[in-house]
Amino acid sequence: MNQENAEELNEIGSLSSGSLEPPPNGGEDQDDENPNNDAADGNDSDDVAENPTEQNDTEGQNDNTEGQNPKIREDRTHATPVELKTNIDARLTQAQESYTRDASRQRSQDVGVLSTKFRQFRVHLNELKPIIKSYQQANNELYAARTKLYSNLAEIAVDSPFYDMVGKQLDTDALSEATTIEAAAQVAEESQTDSLVGVNQIAKAPLPVLEAEYQEHLVDYILEWQAVIANKVDKLMKDNEALRVKQHHYRVKVDNLREEKSASDSKGKEFPNRKREKLVRNEEKYRQAMAEHEEKASELCYMLEVVVNLAWQDMMPLVQHTIIWERKRYDYDDRSYADMFRQVLESLSREITRVEEEESTDDLEAALLIQRDKHEILKEKLNRLQMALSGDWETKNELFRKFDLV
């Protein structure tokens, strides 16, 4: 028991036995300055509800708990999530069941620091959900943009000799049943398709499986983590806050009655028996409320430490699932884009060589035809010249004009 609470209990015992000394100012709890309880100062009745803070928000209750998995429902009997897929709930439940209070430690003074640390942790955890969803969306957008690029290239290549290496598609009906790289590659082999678009179709075949695994092992893991923490901690925080306010409520009543007694004694007046009995009753209620609050605060601090300080135990499976998923995705890409693109490049190179050779042959044949035509023209002129030389002509010009030898 800490010194502050020990002093308060001693004071209660002293006043109950007739001591007139008021409590020291330094003995107040750090949370006693609660304006919600100011009305209790003038309340002449000690018949108050055991839980004066039913309408109060719990400390940290308004923390962002967005993203709880709708599949995870609360069992109204035991208030524990069902349909869980992770070990987070089991770990925290085991810790909760193994909790035993150390009576030598008073943890209520630690609640503020640990609650702040817990809220910071929760902010980071809640930020993880949109980040991991954003990465999922970006990955899908990458494949969609790549597909659009290859489709546009295929449109340009329609009337070219290279269309089969660029835009030829796989049989979509056969491909719809292929959920692995191997199955999609078999479809490509059977259809003898070796193209840019075809490789992209193969690479996209396992995407539905990858998408489902990402959702289950990463996104749903985060949602369940959030839900389990809310289920385990939020009620403890709410109950602790209710007990803290209840303790403060009776502390205020006891302080007011002590002040009345001191004022009465200073004037030499007798303190009414009714109020003396009321002081004794409220001192007992204050003592009980303080013990209840300390018990709940100790349990809350323990659970906050288990949740935050040992969060790495819940984080490591998520890290492992992330690495496994990334490795599988890169492996799929390597077996499709890396290996099969190499084959497409080789086919494309062979086709380019073939087209260039065809163009070279066509050019040579055209040149030979031109030379042959020139040869025929020259041959015809020589024949005419031979005929001309065998005749009798007065002038050379007359000869050339006659036989078109100019």
Query: Contact at 8 Å (CB) between 216 and 136?
Result: no
DSSP string of 244-270, one letter each residue:
HHHHHHHHHHHHHHHHHHHHHHHTTPP
* pLDDT reported for residue 67: 39
User: Which of 355 and 9 is assigned the larger pLDDT?
Assistant: 355
Winning range, highest mean pLDDT, from 37-46, 104-113, 362-371, 374-383: 104-113
Mean pLDDT, residues 174-201: 80
Mean pLDDT of 259-263: 93
What sign results for the dihedral spanned by CA atoms 55, 59, 64, 67? negative
pLDDT in tens, 318-372: 999 999 999 999 988 888 888 888 888 888 888 888 777 776 665 556 666 677 7
**370 vs 188, 360, 365, 379, CA distance in Å?**
46, 16, 9, 14
Residue 4 has pLDDT above 70, yes or no: no
Q: What is the pLDDT of residue 358?
A: 73
Lowest-confidence region among 19-23, 126-130, 291-295:
19-23
Assign 84 a pLDDT band (cuts: 50, 70, 90).
low
DSSP H helical ranges for 40-110: 88-97
Would you place residue 80 in the very low, low, confident or very high pLDDT band (cuts 50, 70, 90)? very low
What is the predicted pLDDT for the residue at 72? 39
Residue 277 pLDDT: 94
pLDDT of 73 strictly over 50: no
pLDDT of the residue at 245: 96
The DSSP 8-state label assigned to residue 219 in this structure reads I
Q: Give the residue with greater pLDDT, 145 vs 26.
A: 145
Once rounded to an integer, what is the mean pLDDT over residues 252-257? 95
Contact 217, 266 (CB under 8 A): no
Average pLDDT over residues 193-198: 86
Query: Locate tokens 């135990």: which residue?
Result: 313
CA dist., res. 393 & res. 336, Å (int): 84
Question: Tokens standing for 79?
Answer: 């208030």
Structural contact between residues 98 and 249, judged by C-beta atoms closer than 8 angstroms = no
Task: Provide the residue ranges of all domains of the chain, joining segments of one domain with +.
Answer: 1-16+43-365
Comparing 379 with 8, which gets the higher pLDDT? 379
Mean pLDDT of the chain: 77
Task: Categorise residue 223: left if φ over 0, alpha if ψ from -120 to 50, beta otherwise.
Answer: alpha
CB 193 within 8 A of CB 168: yes
Summarize pLDDT for 365-395 with one digit per residue, the tens: 666 667 776 767 766 767 766 666 666 555 5
Determine the average pLDDT of the residues in 311-315: 94
